[in-house]
């Protein structure tokens, strides 16, 4: 049977995420993957979580194994509310929804607010998971170019003048894939634009805690007096991505709606992992963990940048992030990055080609994304060296 003709319009155009497909390659233990966005596995507090899981399932098993509430396990909701409040994102009436990873928070916010064909503005490049989520809700992607201090707001205002934008999706801090952080000034200006042009904002902040240089910039949500910003964040980068724990802070009325949307999506997020995370935060100093992550990622980032200086051919440029997980590289226009990728994989190193992060994935793109958080330093050097050789074959000098 040919299922294509039955497919809904909303999924027909979706392509498999290049990053998720890369995961399959990673089954080859010889491949050095600079493709994913996985935390350094040495940061997982495995021993502590083993003990906590055992205790929860011994002392409070019915709570862990029975159905839970859609909004989340109360003590974990408190933890998440506290983390958001710490960066100035106060949950109205302490209302928050725990989601099965932050991707679900973003997906439910889009599902609840984007009608077919409505325009959703995104930074270009942007996170492929959200681009696909917008496509899957029949939203129309409107790209906004980036400067070194975040979205180009002049260009955005030009767009706003000609096009009705329903929502903006932004990753203001250590943006994926660019590594760029939006300035505080631009964040304030964004709120003014939202008010003036009447749009809503989804703020995606999974990396905010991972600053290893420069000064913290408050979330866009912290400047929001009107309730236009829905703030999404995650425990993936500060505790464990495999546990799939995210959350959304938004006005109480919006939270009520997202709760209903979540009921029809996965009923609730698994309880055990929520209990484990809540108990971990209660017993241990998660800030010490985060400090360790910052130190490791800062070191690895510097190291990768120094390897790139050494091994990359002239003409390739890149961003210098102050935190997060990614470096965005750009080869001279016309470089065939897909060919570089094929060659690199032959050389046992993987990365993500830039076109994945574009609104129009078929447009030629000479950029690509590198991740420095996952691999140990000796593999970073080996990988960047191999990648440099692959690039040299295709970069026209």
Among the listed residues 81, 100, 347, 356, the single contact to its own copies using CB under 8 A: 100
Closer residue to its own copies (CB): 62 or 288:
62
Chain centroid to CA 340: 25
Residues 210-239, mask of contacts with its own copies (x by CB under 8 A): ----------------xxx-------x---
Smallest gap from residue 68 Cβ to its own copies (A): 6
Closer residue to its own copies (CB): 56 or 337:
56
Q: What is the DSSP string of 37-96?
A: -PPPGGG--HHHHHHHHHHHHHHSHHHHHS---TT--HHHHHHHHHHHHHTT-PPGGG--
Footprint of its own copies on residues 49-78 (CB under 8 A)?
A: 49-51, 53-54, 56-58, 61-70
Residues forming a β-bridge with 136: none
CB 273 within 8 A of CB 244: yes
> Which residue stretch of 152-160, 241-249, 279-287, 365-373 sits at the interface with its own copies (rule: CB under 8 A)?
241-249
Smallest gap from residue 334 Cβ to its own copies (A): 30
Task: Retrieve residue 331's tokens.
Answer: 């080869």
Write down the number of H helices and E strands in the chain.
Answer: 14, 14
Footprint of its own copies on residues 121-180 (CB under 8 A)?
A: 129, 132-133, 135-138, 166
- Crossing angle of helices 102-113 and 252-263, in 10° steps, is 100
Q: Does 93 bind its own copies (CB under 8 A)?
A: no
Q: Measuring CA to CA, which residue among 56, 58, 42 is closest to residue 278?
A: 56
Q: Give the Cα separation of 219 and 85 in Å (integer).
A: 11
CB 129 within 8 A of CB 176: no
Closer residue to its own copies (CB): 8 or 161:
8
Footprint of its own copies on residues 311-370 (CB under 8 A)?
A: none
Q: Does 371 bind its own copies (CB under 8 A)?
A: no
Footprint of its own copies on residues 245-274 (CB under 8 A)?
A: 251, 253-254, 256-257, 259-261, 263-273
Q: Does 9 bind its own copies (CB under 8 A)?
A: yes
Among the listed residues 25, 28, 41, 333, the single contact to its own copies using CB under 8 A: 41
Tell me 116's DSSP state: T
Residues 270-299, mask of contacts with its own copies (x by CB under 8 A): xxxx--------------------------
Bond into 250 cis (ω within 30)? no
Spatial neighbors of 183 by CB under 8 A, at least 6 apart, are: 149, 150, 217
């Amino acid at each position: 049977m040919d299922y294509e003709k039955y497919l809904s319009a909303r999924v027909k155009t979706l392509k498999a995420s290049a990053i998720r497909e890369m995961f399959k390659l990673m089954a080859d233990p010889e491949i050095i993957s600079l493709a994913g966005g996985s935390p350094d596995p040495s940061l997982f507090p495995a021993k502590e979580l083993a003990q906590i899981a055992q205790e929860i399932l011994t002392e409070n098993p019915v709570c862990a194994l029975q159905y839970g509430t859609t909004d989340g396990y109360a003590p974990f909701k408190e933890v998440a509310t506290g983390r958001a409040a710490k960066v100035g994102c106060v949950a109205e009436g302490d209302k928050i929804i725990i989601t099965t990873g932050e991707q679900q928070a973003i997906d439910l916010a889009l599902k609840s607010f984007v009608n077919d064909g409505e325009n959703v503005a995104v930074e270009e490049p942007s996170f492929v998971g959200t681009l696909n989520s917008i496509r899957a809700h029949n939203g129309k992607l409107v790209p906004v170019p980036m400067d070194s201090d975040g979205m180009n707001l002049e260009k955005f205002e030009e767009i706003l003048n000609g096009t009705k934008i329903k929502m903006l999706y932004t990753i203001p801090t250590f943006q994926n894939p660019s590594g760029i952080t939006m300035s505080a000034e631009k964040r304030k200006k964004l709120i003014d634009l939202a008010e003036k042009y009447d749009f809503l904002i989804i703020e995606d902040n999974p990396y905010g805690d991972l600053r290893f240089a420069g000064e913290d910039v408050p979330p866009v949500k912290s400047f929001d007096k009107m309730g236009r910003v829905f703030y999404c964040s995650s425990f993936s980068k500060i505790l464990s991505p495999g546990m799939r724990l995210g959350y959304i802070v938004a006005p109480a009325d919006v939270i009520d709606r997202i709760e209903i949307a979540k009921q029809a999506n996965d009923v609730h997020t698994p309880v055990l992992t929520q209990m484990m995370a809540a108990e971990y935060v209660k017993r241990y100093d998660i800030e010490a963990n985060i400090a360790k992550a910052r130190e490791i990622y800062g070191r690895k980032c510097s190291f990768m940048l120094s390897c790139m200086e050494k091994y990359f051919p002239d003409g390739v440029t890149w961003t210098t992030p102050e935190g997060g997980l990614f470096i965005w590289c750009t080869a001279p226009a016309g470089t065939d990055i897909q060919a570089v990728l094929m060659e690199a994989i032959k050389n046992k190193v993987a990365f993500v080609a830039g076109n994945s992060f574009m609104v129009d994935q078929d447009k030629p793109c000479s950029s690509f994304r590198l991740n420095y958080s996952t691999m140990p330093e000796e593999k970073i050097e080996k990988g960047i060296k191999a990648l440099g050789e692959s690039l040299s074959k295709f970069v026209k000098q």
